[in-house]
Amino acid sequence: MEDQELQQWIEQISMESFGRPFVHQARFNRRLRSTGGRYFMKSHDIEISWSQWETYGRDEIEKIIKHELCHYHLHILKRGYQHRDQDFKTLLAQVGGTRYCQSLPRPRTKQAYKYRLECVNCKTEYYRKRKMDVRKFACGNCRGKLKSYTLDLTAPS
């Protein structure tokens, strides 16, 4: 689906569900991950998560669009458009929108340790995923100096 198709679809939903036109811009945003959509109060534009579209399809996006259109129409009418406002909650229930979007599945890959820190005094080892400046830190056991080693990630374990 392209942005122009999304624009037409939102205009259609606006007329069918709210009886009012949507006269601003609508577009997909491929960077949205933790939210289904956004309504911009200054420009009155709406952005919809492309990831939600790819993962859950038309039905879920329609609920997200109705949610964002509730913000849009209530804001235009100078009524309570925030999630906590009763006007918003009532309108959202009337049109069949959703308060929350579904969570996107995240690939949970465990990142390998890249660095090993070793205390010069007590030989305590610490494993790190990020590089750190060993001059600024000391051993947690004996307050000794730390020495940093880069681990070979290509070697079989």
Cα dihedral across residues 81, 83, 89, 92: positive or negative:
positive
**Neighbouring C-beta atoms of residue 96, cutoff 10 Å:** 10
Active site (catalytic) residues: 68
Residues 6+ apart with CB under 8 A from 95: 17, 18, 66, 69, 70
Which residues are paired to 47 by β-bridges? Answer: 27, 38
